[in-house]
Structure 1
Amino acid sequence: MNELIVTSFEISHIKDALDLLSEYYQNEKEKVSILPVFSDYEKLITTGLTALAFNGLGIAIHESGSLQGFMAGYLVEELFGKEKGVFVPAFGHAASYSKRSEIEQMLYTEAAKRWVSKEIFTHSIAIFAHDENLQNTLFHLGFGNRCVDAIRQIQPQTLDASSVTFEEITADNASIVVSLHEQHHQHYRNSPIFMPNQDEDALTDLLDWISIDENRMFCVKYNEVVAGYIRYQRVGESLFSIHSKMRNITGLYVKPEFRHLKLGQKLLQYIESLLEKDQFKWIGVDYESINLNAYYFWTKYFTPYTYSLVRRIDERIAKINLKLD
């Protein structure tokens, strides 16, 4: 290997970065064949990489004038806590595939040096879910899983709706799911999730969400009792959720006393039947891997394609006079 040169990630690197990223994506698509083709996302990725090239947090590595890898992320003022963080999306890093473990280690080492010098202590990197090599590399750098993006191909559904009815939630009837929405909100504060979400007015939150174009929400009633709800929207958390033929679930909750009735599955089947009629091809979901109820439910029906990994740096390092450059 010739001498490797480290520079900031710049707009001039985007074309070569797309080539590196395409190989990452194609290898994931070999494992998750239902993923859309990479070309569907190239324009979006180019826009995203352009933004990342301007923020000064990205690193590139070159060998003999050829881009060997890059890593760039978004600054987040409070990421999983009160400290500043950086989030590197799945399209925000890639390396020469056969040498990706070694190069990604170098990229993170150089990028982390820059981030910590700016007192950015929470580092999150999204990776393709079936890249065990890179997953192992980041595990040994102190990263653990936090969030999952998953996909499912929409299929015709035969819905067993005995004893249940479905009702779309609108501004006129949103009050019937307020209690459910409050319970769902509170659930995230429990062990082992421990998400300190803020108190909110459930009805106001629902009405604000429903008012957004293309957002849809449905409840399921068992013997006329509202027992659960599901909602979906056009865009999820991942760039790869943005597709004209995809819709993304952003909430599903069933009261504990009704879960033995498989109402979550029935809600999923119901909206899938609606989306299939409207000629959508895929449905996506994102969830916290630390939310065990969500993890066990969604992995039955969806295939993960990205994991968002997190490492927390001890902020006391900022008080120690280290040479970070």
Structure 2
Amino acid sequence: MNIVNFTREHIANAKKLALSCYQEEQNRVPDLPGAKELTDLTYFADNGLGAAAYEGNTMTGFLCCTEPFDHAFGSTDAKGIFSPMGTHAAVRQNRADIYAAMYRFAARKWVRAGAVSHGICLYAHDETAQQQFFRYGFGMRCIDAVRTMEPITCIRNENYEIEELTPETISLAYPLELMLMRHYYSSPFFMNRAAAAQEDFCSTFTAEEERCFISRYKGQPCAYLKISQSGETCITEIPEYLHITAAYCLSEHRGKGVFQNLLNYAVDLLKKEGYAYLGVDYESLNPTAYAFWQKYFSAYTHGLVRRIDEHILQVSERI
């Protein structure tokens, strides 16, 4: 096996390999939309941080990442890199060994660039790749999941009123947004994510053309669901796809079908508008989110992360 720097000359082979791995996951997750190609790899070739694996003249794998960014995961002081879905792949034969060799080669460059938080998005059913990264000190943190735009089977709870908010009424969801941010503090989540000011929350909703739905109990908002065109994987570029960006239900209203009804209300409306897929990403270390989304959505990626000893930066020139 020969490991070399990933460059533009490797893009054509890499795109074919990435697509074959996507189709491999699609066979396990029928709700995944079809795709003719995935991520544009030009940026990843040009940043000089990737690796390509070859056996003779045949590409057997590639591993690319973003340039280092500050405050990895938005809640640490670490500089991080991330290898998104579609920016890495490996053939089935000897997949673990290929990923192991590519990571050893690429991670040296990542550390030299100052990144001590390493993240990678792997397909949820690729146990071979996941086990290899677990052996190298990674742990699961995030999950991407999808479902077709079809309603959930549940009983309609008539005690709640549901509506879609407008730019004029979006401020009604802001208290629930604050409660969601506070929920992030709880164990075992431990994420200190700052909430936007109400003015910014409302202006972003309008500027990004988001959709927001709320449930009311006795006139008071008790749950909300925010949906956007944008998400964190490349399938969000499909026009028929929408992505859940925020969701929260007051604890005293959980277990009553409130959120299932809210989700169905949104799905019924969005399906009539021509949307076919609904996705969500959530942290596996958030037990409330994990328990709900895994019931109704099909996971297709697992986000793994490794935080290495930042003191290695003091001797990175020796690596």
- Structure 2 length normalisation: TM-score? 0.94
Letter in 2 for 1:164: Y
CA distance in 2, matches of 1:66, 1:323: 32
**Is 1:177 aligned to 2:173, yes or no?**
yes
Partner residue in 2 for 1:26: 23
CA distance in 1, matches of 2:216, 2:118: 42
Partner residue in 1 for 2:286: 291
Distance change in 2, residues 1:268/1:50 (3 Å): same
Partner residue in 2 for 1:195: 191
Q: What SS class does the counterpart of residue 214 from structure 2 fall into? A: strand
**Is 1:67 aligned to 2:52, yes or no?**
no
Q: What SS class does the counterpart of residue 211 from structure 1 fall into? A: helix
CA distance in 2, matches of 1:157, 1:26: 26
Partner residue in 2 for 1:52: 44
Query: Do the aligned residues in 2 keep the contact of 1:123 with 1:311 (CA within 8 Å)?
Result: yes
205, 227, 250: which is aligned to 2:222?
227
308, 317, 322: which is aligned to 2:312?
317
Is the deviation greater in 16-25 or in 301-310?
Answer: 16-25
Query: Do the aligned residues in 1 keep the contact of 2:157 with 2:256 (CA within 8 Å)?
Result: no
272, 277, 281: which is aligned to 2:276?
281
**Structure 1 residues 71-106: Cα deviation after superposition (integer angstroms, max 9, x where no partner):** 110022221321211100121111122121110000
Partner residue in 2 for 1:10: 7
Distance change in 2, residues 1:156/1:177 (3 Å): closer
CA distance in 1, matches of 2:309, 2:294: 33
- 1:71-150 superposed matches below 5 A: 71-75=63-67, 76-80=69-73, 81-150=76-145
Displacement, 1:57? 0.8
CA distance in 1, matches of 2:195, 2:131: 37
Query: Do the aligned residues in 1 keep the contact of 2:157 with 2:258 (CA within 8 Å)?
Result: no
Letter in 2 for 1:193: F
The number of residues matched between the two structures is 315
CA distance in 2, matches of 1:178, 1:238: 26
CA distance in 1, matches of 2:80, 2:206: 31
CA distance in 2, matches of 1:251, 1:321: 39
* Structure 2 unaligned residues grouped into runs of 5+: none
* Structure 1 unaligned residues grouped into runs of 5+: none
Displacement, 1:317? 1.8
Letter in 2 for 1:296: A
Q: What SS class does the counterpart of residue 126 from structure 1 fall into? A: strand
Distance change in 2, residues 1:250/1:153 (3 Å): same
CA distance in 2, matches of 1:321, 1:52: 22
**Structure 1 residues 113-155: Cα deviation after superposition (integer angstroms, max 9, x where no partner):** 1111222111001000011111111111111111111000112
Displacement, 1:65? 2.2
- Structure 1 length normalisation: TM-score? 0.92
CA RMSD of aligned residues (A): 1.7
Displacement, 1:23? 2.0
Letter in 2 for 1:166: I
Query: Do the aligned residues in 2 keep the contact of 1:90 with 1:127 (CA within 8 Å)?
Result: yes
Q: What SS class does the counterpart of residue 207 from structure 1 fall into? A: helix
Query: Do the aligned residues in 1 keep the contact of 2:138 with 2:305 (CA within 8 Å)?
Result: yes
Partner residue in 1 for 2:156: 160
Distance change in 2, residues 1:287/1:156 (3 Å): closer
CA distance in 1, matches of 2:42, 2:220: 50
Letter in 2 for 1:34: D
CA distance in 1, matches of 2:62, 2:131: 19
Letter in 1 for 2:140: N
